[in-house]
Amino acid sequence: MTRVAVIDYDLCIPNKCGIPCVRFCPVNKTKPYKAIELSEAKQGKPIIYEDKCIACGICIKKCPYKAIRIVNLPSEVEKKLVHRFGINEFKLYGLPVPVKDKIIGILGPNGAGKTTAMKILSGLLIPNFGIVERQVSREEVVSRFRGTQLYEYFERLYSGKLKVIHKIQYIESLRQYLRYGSVKEWLKKYDERGILKEIAELLKMDNMLSKDVRTLSGGELQKLANAIALERDAEAYIFDEPTAYLDIRERLNLLRALDELRPKQSYMFVVDHDIMFLDYVADLVVIVYGVPGVYGHFSSPYTAKAGIDNYLKGFLPAENMKIRDEAIVFKLHDVRDEVITLSEVELISWSQIFKRLDTFELVVEEGKVKKGEVVGIIGPNGIGKTTFIRILAGEIKPDNGYVTSPLLTVSYKPQYLSIDTLKCETVEECIKEVNKDALNENSWLYDEIVKRLGVERILKKNTKTLSGGELQKLYIVLSLIKDADVYLLDEPSSHIDVEDQLSVARAIRRIARLRKVPIFVVDHNILLIDYAIDRLMVFLGEPGVKGFGKAPTSVSRAFNEFLKDVNVTVRRDPDIGRPRINKPGSYLDRYQKLTGNYFYN
């Protein structure tokens, strides 16, 4: 048995807690060699010696900031150790094996090492195999992988014979480099393969080619980053969360671009949380499992269907490993019992609405929303979805039409998140500013929102140190714990994994039912929509020019209309019920189009 002890040093504050983890450690009192003690190398913070620790759990319980986690693993797993950041820090076991002319999809929870593995495969990070005392040389790395499928890849990578293009996870950091020029100028600059025209057409970039790169939205910046990565001439490509900020239509466009424009005989890795996207684009899928923030382990490669099905079921047969306590099961929307029990009391209704904002025009059909109902909104970015919500909330008035409701208080979770907008130092302070009751452990808000989303673990964490997924969950919590009449969550699934998407969906439904309030969810992820939404609104039109919003209707009917507009068909997997995109021109694609069933529920 090997032991992994991890201390989150962002949460550890020894001068405030008095170090109960050291004082109450039984090994420290009974044996000459301490299992946990303070370290000068860690600025007076504790370190745990894993070979001496008996995993009694006392230090975990005594730590007031929940900074310590200890996990026992089989001894043979240690042979697969690839990287460790430092003493009592995250451990990574194994790497996804690259295969020429195959797209390897990477699926797993946040904090399990996906991005770390991509940095290793791109050459940005040299693996140390747990040797934290010194820098491991590239020659040692190649020697370590000798006799494995990774040997040729790293030998060519470190000898300069393998060029890798890495599309990073958080594209917001690209803004510091994009300080001048238009989109077209940047595409021309990196068009090493001569495919500018084809990629601009596939990704529908014609209307943004003349834009100044400094004015791009998050979705436009993501499209530019994906386009530049595909334009580069390389032997290996890594796309880390390429669908973030992209609407469903743009994700489908990206699918076609990756399918048609990827170079032959190249390596390609795609990391994403959209399982429908990965199912379509990936040839093989590797599952990352473990304890987020403690250790991550890469599985053997599976076929795309088998890998995603195993991940959703929570059991990996090749590893004989249970990775989740319960399976994720997809439901059929038209037979939901909960819809029948919803309140018949209308909270908001509206006539046909017309609104002009500068050169943009928005028209929305007549509709109504009941108490306790969750309404999804899908459609392209820049089509008027947020404008519509602001009209319902009374923030702006329509030019024609009316809303039959009083002025309502609105809780809004924006699409683009910024740490700078948070005026509090810690996560705990942020929550207290919005609703103190949410931190009462006897409160249903604490159980249903704070604890369900795992935010109770990072209460003492400084907001400046939050990852993208942690920041997203914090914003969701702040939105849902606020007392309001109407809730709007704009893309709550961005940067969070499948498990957290499921938790968010459940939290949304609980808030709607318990508070008897309507919640509008703007998102492009099928998993979250499948779990959280009662009815769906579709917005169509030309982004930035004219938008047309349909009245709320059943999810299957709305999706059918939307998919018909983008000329894509989706079927239900017979084994697990999850939605899957049909290959264009396949028998099912042609049959569903012929019968008009673009979305089979």
pLDDT digits (tens, 9 = 90+) for 302-342: 999 999 999 989 999 998 899 888 887 776 554 343 444 45
Pick the closest to residue 288 from 444, 280, 278, 593 (CA basis): 278
Q: Is 209 exposed, middle or buried (0-12, 13-18, 19+ CB in 10 A)?
A: middle
Reported as a single tens digit per residue, the pLDDT across 18-62 is 899 998 999 988 877 789 998 887 888 999 999 899 889 999 999
Query: 143 pLDDT band (50/70/90 cuts)?
Result: very high
Cite the residue boundaries of each domain of the chain with CATH code 3.40.50.300.
79-322, 333-426+478-557
DSSP state of 289: E
pLDDT at 484 over 90: no
Query: 220 pLDDT band (50/70/90 cuts)?
Result: confident
On whether the CB atoms of residues 365 and 499 are closer than 8 A, the answer is: no
**N-term to C-term CA, the chain:** 47
Q: Is 467 exposed, middle or buried (0-12, 13-18, 19+ CB in 10 A)?
A: middle
Q: Alpha-carbon distance 230 to 269, whole Å?
A: 12
CA–CA distances in Å: residue 502 to residues 412, 508, 577, 582: 20, 10, 16, 24
Q: Alpha-carbon distance 118 to 125, whole Å?
A: 9
What's the CATH class of domain 2-73?
Answer: alpha beta
Question: Which stretch of DSSP H or E encloses residue 539?
Answer: strand 535-542
Q: Alpha-carbon distance 238 to 152, whole Å?
A: 18
Reported as a single tens digit per residue, the pLDDT across 553-586 is 888 888 888 888 888 888 888 877 788 888 888 9
On whether the CB atoms of residues 173 and 208 are closer than 8 A, the answer is: no
Q: Phi then psi for 382, rounded to 5 degrees?
A: 75, 25
Reported as a single tens digit per residue, the pLDDT across 496-517 is 888 888 888 889 988 998 888 8
- Determine the 3-state secondary structure of 462 from DSSP: strand
Pick the closest to residue 318 from 340, 341, 300 (CA basis): 300
What is the mean pLDDT of the segment spanning 200-226? 88
Two tokens at 141?
């790395």
- Determine the 3-state secondary structure of 50 from DSSP: coil
**Fold of the 333-426+478-557 domain:** Rossmann fold (3.40.50)
Q: Alpha-carbon distance 143 to 177, whole Å?
A: 37
- Taking each helix axis from N to C end, the angle separating 248-261 and 555-566, rounded to the nearest 10 degrees, works out to 40
CB environment 567-599: b (16+ within 10 A), e (fewer): ebbbbeeeebebbbbbeeeeeebeebbeeebbb
pLDDT at 601: 60
| Residues paired with residue 349 on neighbouring β-strands, in sequence order | 368
pLDDT at 197: 92
Pick the closest to residue 465 from 90, 151, 11 (CA basis): 11
DSSP string, 306-370: HHHHHHHHTEETTTTEE--SS------GGG-HHHHTS---EEEEE--EEEEETTEEEEE--EEEE
Cite the residue boundaries of each domain of the chain with CATH code 3.30.70.20.
2-73
Computed over every residue of the chain, the mean pLDDT equals 87
CB environment 389-428: b (16+ within 10 A), e (fewer): bbbbbeeeebeebebebeebebbbbebebeeeebeeebbb
pLDDT at 335: 38
pLDDT at 340: 40
Reported as a single tens digit per residue, the pLDDT across 392-425 is 777 788 999 888 865 678 888 887 777 777 778 8
What is the mean pLDDT of the segment spanning 150-159? 94
Reported as a single tens digit per residue, the pLDDT across 73-114 is 888 888 899 999 989 999 999 999 999 999 999 999 888 899
Q: Which residues contact 375 (CB under 8 A, 6 or more apart)?
A: 369, 518, 519, 520, 521, 533, 534, 535, 536, 537, 552
Q: Alpha-carbon distance 431 to 426, whole Å?
A: 9
Reported as a single tens digit per residue, the pLDDT across 517-546 is 889 998 877 777 777 888 999 998 888 789
pLDDT at 121: 95
What is the mean pLDDT of the segment spanning 128-142? 92
Residue whose token pair is 């673009």: 598
248 compared with 155, residue with greater pLDDT = 155
**pTM confidence score:** 0.84
| Strand bridging mode 374-378 / 535-542 | parallel
pLDDT at 240 over 70: yes
Q: How far is CA 265 from the centre of its chain?
A: 29
pLDDT at 208: 86
pLDDT at 460: 83
pLDDT at 390 over 90: no
**Fold of the 79-322 domain:** Rossmann fold (3.40.50)
pLDDT at 385 over 70: yes
Q: Alpha-carbon distance 580 to 577, whole Å?
A: 9
On whether the CB atoms of residues 561 and 596 are closer than 8 A, the answer is: no
On whether the CB atoms of residues 142 and 154 are closer than 8 A, the answer is: yes
**Sign, CA torsion 531/533/534/539:** negative
pLDDT at 336: 44
pLDDT at 338: 43
pLDDT at 345: 67
| Residues paired with residue 541 on neighbouring β-strands, in sequence order | 547
Q: Is 79 exposed, middle or buried (0-12, 13-18, 19+ CB in 10 A)?
A: exposed
